[in-house]
Chain A
Amino acid sequence: AQSVTQPDIHITVSEGASLELRCNYSYGATPYLFWYVQSPGQGLQLLLKYFSGDTLVQGIKGFEAEFKRSQSSFNLRKPSVHWSDAAEYFCAVGATGGGNKLTFGTGTQLKVEL
C-alpha cells in the first residue's frame, strides 16, 4: 500500500525567503504525485502534479517540485514566499489501479512572517 510522509508539521518563513516543503512517498511502481494547498475553510487546490517525464515540474503561484526516484521524494519549493502563501500544504500519491484515489500526507502548515 502506498504512503506519504511529510516530516514537517509546521514551518515558519519570512516573507521573501525561499521555501522547501518535504515529501517522501512509498509506492511499488511509478507514482503519480501531487501537491495541494488548503486555505482555512477552503477545499484543496492543486499546485502541481507529476506523472512522468521531466522530473522538475512547474506549478501555479510560482511553485515547483522535483521528483527524485532514488530518494523517493517530491519536495515542493518556492524561491520567494509571499504572505498569501500561508496555508496548509498536502503531498499526495495517486494509485495507478482502480481509479486515482489519493493517499495524502499529514500536511505541513506554513506560516509567513512579515
Chain B
Amino acid sequence: GAGVSQSPSNKVTEKGKDVELRCDPISGHTALYWYRQSLGQGLEFLIYFQGNSAPDKSGLPSDRFSAERTGGSVSTLTIQRTQQEDSAVYLCASSLRQGPTEAFFGQGTRLTVV
C-alpha cells in the first residue's frame, strides 16, 4: 500500500475483554514498530519486529500485551483482559530496514476501555 494502514481506527471495548489491533506496513519494509500514545505518558515504544522476529519487546507494559508478525508483513497487537489504563492511541510504524532510517507512521488506533 501507499502508507502504513492500521485497523480499526477506533475501538471501544469493555474492561476485561481482549482486543486485537492490526497493522499493515508499507510493502517491502522489513522493520515494524508499535508505539503507544497516551495522556501523561507521551509516546512510548512497545515492540520492534525485524522480519517475523521481535528482537526488542522491552516496551510491552505487562504480559497482557503480545504481538506477532506473519509473513514479514502484517502485525497484530493483542491486549488481553483490557484495563482502563490501556486506553490510548496505538501507533504502528515501519521502515525499510533496521538502523538509522526514516520510520513511517500509520494514523493509529484509538482504544477506549470502558
Neighbouring A residues of B99 by C-beta, 8 Å: 96, 99-100
Establish whether residues A99 and B100, one from each chain, have CB atoms under 8 Å apart when the complex forms: no
Q: How far is the CA of A32 from the CA of B98 in the complex (A)?
A: 13
Establish whether residues B98 and A99, one from each chain, have CB atoms under 8 Å apart when the complex forms: yes
Q: How far is the CA of A39 from the CA of B63 in the complex (A)?
A: 32
Q: How far is the CA of A44 from the CA of B95 in the complex (A)?
A: 13
Establish whether residues B42 and A100, one from each chain, have CB atoms under 8 Å apart when the complex forms: no
Establish whether residues A42 and B107, one from each chain, have CB atoms under 8 Å apart when the complex forms: yes
Neighbouring B residues of A36 by C-beta, 8 Å: 105
Establish whether residues B102 and A49, one from each chain, have CB atoms under 8 Å apart when the complex forms: yes
Contact with B along A87-111 (1 / 0, CB 8 A): 0001010101011111111110000
A-B pairs with beta carbons under 8 A, tally: 61
Question: Is B114's beta carbon under 8 Å from chain A?
Answer: no
Which listed residue (A42, A99, A104) contacts B31, Cβ 8 A?
A99
Which listed residue (B31, B42, B98, B102) contacts A46, Cβ 8 A?
B102
Establish whether residues A43 and B106, one from each chain, have CB atoms under 8 Å apart when the complex forms: yes
Neighbouring B residues of A44 by C-beta, 8 Å: 91, 93, 105
- What residue of chain A has the Cβ atom nearest to residue B95's Cβ? A100
Closest approach, in angstroms, between the C-beta of B106 and any C-beta of chain A?
5
Closest 10 A-B residue pairs measured CB to CB?
A104-B43, A43-B105, A44-B105, A32-B100, A43-B107, A99-B48, A99-B98, A106-B42, A101-B45, A51-B100
